[in-house]
Amino acid sequence: MTTTTEATPEIRSFEADVAKLLHLMVHSVYSDKDVFLRELVSNAADACEKLRYEGLTDAGLLGDDGQPRITVTLDPDARRLTIEDNGIGMSEAELADALGTIARSGTKAFMDKIAGAKDAEGSQLIGQFGVGFYSAFMVADQVEVVSRRAGADTAAAWLSDGLGTYTIRPVETTDAPARGTRVLLHLKEDAADYTQSFKIERTIKAQSGHVPVPIFLKEKPDAEPKQIADGAALWTKPKSAITPEEYKDFYRSAAGQFDEPALTLHYRAEGLHEYTVLAFVPETKPFDLFDPDRAGRMKLYVRRVFITDEAQILPRYLRFVRGLVDSNDLPLNVSREMIQESPVLAAIQKGVANRILSELDKLSGSDAEAYLKLWDNFGPVLKEGLYEDYARRETLLGLARFKTTASGGEWRSLKDYAASLKDNQTAIYYATGTDLDRLATSPQLEGFRARGIEVLLLADQVDSFWVTSGVDYEGKPFKSVTQGLADLSLIPLPEGEEPAAAASDAVNGFIAFVKEVLGDAVSDVRASDRLTESAVCLVAPENGMDRQLEKLLAGAGRLDTTAKPVLEINPHHALVEKLSAVESNDPEVRADAAHLLFDEARIADGELPVDPRAFSARLMRLLERGTS
Ligand SMILES: Nc1ncnc2c1ncn2[C@@H]1O[C@H](COP(=O)(O)OP(=O)(O)OP(=O)(O)O)[C@@H](O)[C@H]1O
């Protein structure tokens, strides 16, 4: 065995984000500093699991120490706390890479959040962003990490006071764990109680009692280690032997969440394939929910050996589900790459996704309030499945809930909607936009309201995509209220109400005039049957793209050209009737009015006038006329 020579430690700076994060972490006063222990124990357990996995193909890595173990050692006299594992360990390069940067995406978002977060939220955030290790600096003013990678004959030490720089140096292997990592915390004065054994034992049992690696505690450096957690994987125990509290603790330590699970699912699948599932739906939104990679975090185990958390066990629209699947059938020595191809994994993926959706469905029936809360959090993500997962579309449509013009702010299902269809109603109508309140008052809805036709108000970005993907519900297509002709005349008005008379010749003449004036700016100008109060609105041409989707795609630079809208004019609006009566030999007023009506319709849609300067000149001209 060779040992390394003493060298001057090299001083390195933290990546800018780490330095900022450390500053935030140390200077925010979290009420719950205990999280650091959960993070370090969880890293130690991960390291043991990684070794267990690599040991499958390279038994030599385990040497004569095949039992994974985490040892926490207290030293009250020196005010020190050490967490040591005999896991995979880190080489010098890995140390610098893992403990000088932040690997995960979304760090910027995290920083913004944590800067404004309240105490409890702050500690919740730490685990979710893969910044767990740095939480050590909440309680320590110096942290030393000595590590020796499994199978390596060198060891290295990382040292930092968390103030912007760290050093890395090679150390003698005799000063390092025989294998794995030792994290030594020089505790701050006000964190001295983390050397009290009862406190550490209680905290570890509560936070990390169910990690699949046994944990030992040494009250003093020379004390006998005492086992405080058995490392028995919680999911292998029968359901009846697990308390809700134990599930919750496991969820928190495994998922890095600090809330309660909104739904806990624990079952064993038997038959063709045998596997155990322990999955949780969080009560609050994890912060990586809308990360661009949309990666799930379900872990895959094979007979209690952690294999990977990148197997994408669940479809991406279920990425908010946390937990694990432990398979009995996959070969233990399967490579991570091969797993993706495995028919066993495909069967697991199918089975688990179906089961989760059916549990959600059950919950919607048994506890509507809990379900709606869950929908409130994850509905926008689940709806991605409507255009990504054709096979489960019907199930997902059944799970979907909507705010509608008839729901008074509550959620409605499509079943509710279908039950209140009007006579002759052949489509499910919807309006898309970015803001629910604005949507509810959009002029395009007026005619539908007048006939008591319910309209789904879709304010999530994803809505524009699934509604235009050829979806239907019980044979009824989804149709935008801003698209094509409304055809409302076929649907009877409420009793006692008369349909509006046909547009007068003067109005028809005015509409033709507006069309001529606007020319190429619109694809058509026509009398509207969807307006009852407003004078004008814009809709998409019959076969045009939904206007909201068009705006989204154009905004993202994914459309070269956009369709010209149709300007619909309410033929019974008092202003329209008056304008129609303006002498046609006063073309200037009528032309100004035509442009202003078009601009007004654009403004109601949240857009700017075509030419803001011309708009204001026309408005001034008309106001002057009106007041002179
Ligand atoms: N005890 C350890 N043994 C081996 N590697 C470790 C250990 N502790 C930390 N690391 C390495 O440092 C990296 C950063 O750790 P950190 O706790 O900051 O984030 P993470 O564990 O990746 O994410 P999360 O906290 O969300 O689980 C880890 O990914 C791992 O590679």
The full set of domains in the chain, from first to last, is 18-229 (3.30.565.10), 234-370 (3.30.230.80), 505-627 (1.20.120.790)
Nearest CA to ligand 1 atom 9: 43
Q: Is the CB of 323 under 6 A from ligand 1?
A: no
109 CA distance to ligand 1 centroid (A)?
A: 20
To which residue do tokens 């507006």 refer?
514
Q: Which atom of ligand 1 has the smallest separation from the CA of 134?
A: 18
Nearest to 212 by CA among 199, 230, 195, 228: 230
Q: What does the pLDDT average to over 306-331?
A: 90
Q: Is 65 helix (H, G, I), strand (E, B) or coil?
A: coil
Average pLDDT of the residues in 365-371: 96
**96 CA to centre of ligand 1 in angstroms:** 12
Q: Give nearest CA residue, ligand 1 atom 26.
A: 130
User: Is ligand 1 within 6 A of the CB of residue 550?
Assistant: no
In ligand 1, which atom is closest to the CA atom of 85?
A: 1
What is d(CA 279, CA 352) in angstroms, rounded to the nearest whole number? 9
Residue closest via CA to ligand 1's atom 20 equals: 130
385 three-state secondary structure: helix
131 lines ligand 1 (CB under 6 A): yes
**Of residues 549, 566, 557, 551, the one with CA closest to residue 601:** 566
Give the strand pairing for 322-327 and 299-302. parallel
The residue nearest atom 24 of ligand 1, judged by CA position, is: 130
Q: Rounded distance, CA 140 to CA 184, Å?
A: 9
pLDDT category of residue 182 using cuts at 50, 70 and 90? very high
Torsion of CA 387, 388, 390, 393, to 10 degrees: -60
CB-ligand 1 contact for 44 (6 Å cutoff): yes
47 lines ligand 1 (CB under 6 A): yes
393-446 pLDDT tens trace: 999 999 999 999 998 889 999 999 999 999 889 999 999 988 888 888 889 899
Tell which wins on pLDDT, 252 or 191.
191
Pocket test for ligand 1, best of 46, 82, 149 (most atoms within 8 A of CB): 46
Nearest to 139 by CA among 157, 126, 121, 156: 126
pLDDT score recorded for residue 1? 41
Residue 119, pLDDT score: 58
Q: What's the 146 CA to ligand 1 centre distance in angstroms?
A: 14
Measured distance CA(592)–CA(623) in Å, rounded: 11
Residue pointed to by tokens 């309410």: 570
**DSSP-derived 3-state class of residue 264:** strand
Yes or no: say if 309 and 299 are a contact pair by the CB < 8 Å rule.
yes
pLDDT at position 4, please? 46
- Residue 45 in contact with residue 212, Cβ under 8 Å? yes
**Least confidently predicted of 270-279, 288-297, 356-365:** 288-297
pTM of the complete model: 0.76
Is the model's pLDDT at 599 over the cut of 60?
Answer: yes
> 589 and 582 in contact (C-beta within 8 Å)?
yes
Nearest CA to ligand 1 atom 8: 43
Nearest one of 67, 42, 85 to 184, comparing CA atoms? 85
Say what the pLDDT of residue 403 is: 96
Instruction: Determine whether the shortest distance from the Cβ of 98 to ligand 1 is under 6 A.
Output: yes
Nearest CA to ligand 1 atom 11: 98
Report which listed range, 90-104, 339-353, 554-568, is most confident.
Answer: 339-353
**68 CB under 6 A from ligand 1?**
no
The contacts of residue 560 (CB under 8 Å, 6+ apart) are: none
Ligand 1 center to 65 CA (angstroms): 22
Question: How far does residue 32's CA lie from ligand 1's centre (Å)?
Answer: 20
Does ligand 1 lie within 6 Å of residue 127's CB atom? yes
Of 118-132, 444-458, 512-526, 559-573, minimum mean pLDDT range:
118-132
Nearest atom (ligand 1) to Cα of 94: 31
- Convert 259-279 to b/e letters by CB count within 10 Å (16 or more is b): bebbbbbbeebeeebebbbbb
133 CB within 6 A, ligand 1: yes
Higher pLDDT, 258 or 61: 61
Q: Is 261 in the pocket of ligand 1 (CB under 6 A)?
A: no
Question: What's the pLDDT tens digit per position in 484-505?
Answer: 776 777 888 887 777 777 888 9
Are β-strands 180-187 and 140-148 bridged in parallel, bridged antiparallel, or unpaired?
antiparallel
Q: Residue 444 in contact with residue 530, Cβ under 8 Å?
A: yes
Specify whether the CB–CB gap between 566 and 524 falls below 8 A.
Answer: yes
Ligand 1 geometric centre to CA of 143 (Å): 14
| Band of pLDDT at residue 127, cut at 50, 70 and 90 | low
pLDDT digits (tens, 9 = 90+) for 201-246: 999 987 787 788 999 999 999 999 999 998 888 999 999 999 999 9
Q: What percent of the chain has pLDDT over 70?
A: 92
Q: Tell me, using a 6 A CB cutoff, whether residue 181 lines ligand 1.
A: yes
Taking CA atoms, 193 is separated from 74, 133, 188, 373, 478, in Å, by: 10, 20, 10, 39, 62
**Cα torsion at 102, 106, 107, 112 (round to 10°)?**
-170
For the CA of 50, the closest atom of ligand 1 is: 4
Q: How far apart are CA 488 and CA 426, in angstroms?
A: 10
- Encoding tokens for residue 375? 């929908």
pLDDT in tens, 382-394: 999 999 999 999 9
CB distance 159 to 14 below 8 Å:
no
Nearest residue to 217 via CA among 203, 200, 192, 233: 200
What is the ipTM, given to two decimal places?
0.97
Residue 87 Cβ < 6 Å to ligand 1: yes
Name the residue with tokens 């303006």: 582
Distance CA 628, CA 622 (A): 10
Ligand 1 site, residue 122, Cβ cutoff 6 A: no
For residue 605, give the nearest of 568, 558, 571, 553 by alpha carbon: 568
Closest CA to 424 of 463, 453, 465: 453
Tens of pLDDT, residues 42-76: 899 999 999 988 888 888 999 889 899 999 999 99
Per-residue pLDDT tens for 1-29? 444 445 677 888 888 778 877 877 777 65
Closest ligand 1 atom to 44 CA = 1
- At residue 281, the pLDDT reads 97
In whole angstroms, give the CA distance from residue 77 to residue 99.
28
Residues 324-366 pLDDT 10s: 999 988 876 666 677 878 899 999 999 999 999 999 999 999 9
256 lines ligand 1 (CB under 6 A): yes
Please give the residue that has the higher pLDDT: either 437 or 186.
186
Shortest-distance atom of ligand 1 to CA 131: 18
Q: Indicate whether residue 88 lines ligand 1 (CB < 6 A).
A: yes
pLDDT category at 109 given cuts 50, 70, 90 is: low
| Mean pLDDT, range 459-485, rounded to an integer | 89
In 209-303, which ranges are continuous DSSP H helix?
Answer: 244-255
Tell me which of 43, 213, 252 to substitute to probe ligand 1's pocket, judged by most ligand atoms within 8 Å of the beta carbon.
43
Contacts of 498 (CB under 8 A, 6+ apart): none
